[in-house]
Structure 1
Amino acid sequence: MGSASNSWSPVLKGLHWIIAICILCAWGSVELHEFYERGDPMRGWWMMLHFSVGFTVLLLAMVRLYYRATHGRPTLYGSGFQKPVSLLVQSLMYIIMLGMPLTGLLMRQFAGRDTTLFWLFELPAFLSENKDLAKQLAYLHKDFLWNSLLVLLVLHIGGALWHHLFIKDNTLRQMLPFGKTK
């Protein structure tokens, strides 16, 4: 593992912001599909985008975890409870970045549905159909993990703003793509 520095590497910064944009796109696409009636091709188009972007989040999160494990992270700012809380929030966000796409794919598998990704290839349903398990996974995906992610995002963004506005350290600056640390 690489040594700690005072800033995130450009690769990890890029992955951070690309994943953030992908999560926004996944959320937006699943919300936009609701504007269309069942059977409307646009409803399916938005859901295909949702599946594809979610799959992208899964792949990018795995790359990000690997890169972070092999290249280290900058020194954490904060005192007392702040560092463990920061690490806990970040760890839970990684779990959700992996868990949401996996539960979404498994939900479709157990519902007996194929999943088209990127309009290029089809991931066939290869697991035995189990509608009850699909419903449980749907609850986990749509309600538990999504609401957990929202809470964690508030803590994550709130913590970054707290450090930037009140403590006035480099926590936020070191992750901004255009930011310079003091």
Structure 2
Amino acid sequence: MKNKYPFPIMIMHWLTLCLVVLAYLTGGDPTVHLKSGELHVFAGVSVFLLFFIRIIMIFTYRKDIPLNKPMSKYQRTLFLMVKYTLYSLLFLIPVLGWVTLSGLTESYQFFGMSLPLISNSWDVEKIGEIHEFLGNSFMVLIGFHALAALIHHYVFKDNVLKSMLYFKK
């Protein structure tokens, strides 16, 4: 039985975390806060693209993903709820950000390139509020995810946290 995630999945996991934190720290209207806005859009676009790469990697490495101790039905349900919520938000938050940005401006320069925008007639302010709310909720959920890993490590004393950390034996 494998006891560590494959190294590429570890890299993807921690890179995604860094980009999500960067997006969170540089939040705001990218059409007003130009430099931090450009970083925010970069992080959001990167998270969106990495989402698809991540899905491909999970299918590619599915046989190498560690199976931890059997969980109770409650733990398994909670695990799956958090997992699918995290994945949904990795997709949904950048999409809502793109729709919001599209409603704020007719063109957006992204590191010297024009970012493709969509024409929309939706309530941009409301979508922006949803984008921000989900971003904040995502950070809270990430905190719970990290707390759960620490509980597994210090209370259950299992391999869950170590399986996502790279240390040579």
Q: Which residue in 2 is equivalent to 1:120?
A: 112
Opposite residue 23 of structure 2, the aligned amino acid is A
* SS in structure 1 of the partner of residue 114 of structure 2: strand
1:102 equivalent to 2:64? Answer no
Kept in 1, the 8 Å contact 2:12–2:54? The answer is: yes
Return the alpha-carbon distance in structure 2 between the equivalents of residues 176 and 59 of structure 1: 23
What is the CA-CA distance between 1:67 and the residue it aligns to? 0.9
Return the alpha-carbon distance in structure 1 between the equivalents of residues 101 and 166 of structure 2: 36
Return the alpha-carbon distance in structure 2 between the equivalents of residues 97 and 146 of structure 1: 10
Return the alpha-carbon distance in structure 1 between the equivalents of residues 164 and 13 of structure 2: 8
Kept in 2, the 8 Å contact 1:25–1:50? The answer is: yes
Kept in 2, the 8 Å contact 1:173–1:179? The answer is: no
Which of these residues, 71, 76, 79, is aligned with residue 79 of structure 1? 71
Aligned-pair Cα RMSD in Å:
2.3
Kept in 2, the 8 Å contact 1:12–1:68? The answer is: yes
Opposite residue 10 of structure 2, the aligned amino acid is K
Q: Which residue in 2 is equivalent to 1:159?
A: 148
> How many residue pairs align between the two structures?
166
Return the alpha-carbon distance in structure 1 between the equivalents of residues 75 and 97 of structure 2: 32
Return the alpha-carbon distance in structure 2 between the equivalents of residues 179 and 135 of structure 1: 49
Question: Structure 1 regions of 5+ residues with no counterpart?
Answer: none
Provide the TM-score with structure 2 as the length reference. 0.86
Kept in 1, the 8 Å contact 2:96–2:131? The answer is: yes
Return the alpha-carbon distance in structure 1 between the equivalents of residues 159 and 168 of structure 2: 9
What is the CA-CA distance between 1:124 and the residue it aligns to? 4.1
Kept in 1, the 8 Å contact 2:98–2:117? The answer is: no
Looking at both structures, which has the greater relative contact order when contacts are Cα pairs under 8 Å and sequence separation is at least 6? 2
Which of these residues, 86, 92, 109, is aligned with residue 85 of structure 2? 92
Return the alpha-carbon distance in structure 1 between the equivalents of residues 106 and 66 of structure 2: 43
Provide the TM-score with structure 1 as the length reference. 0.81
What is the CA-CA distance between 1:140 and the residue it aligns to? 1.3
Opposite residue 83 of structure 1, the aligned amino acid is R
Tell me the percent identity. Answer: 24
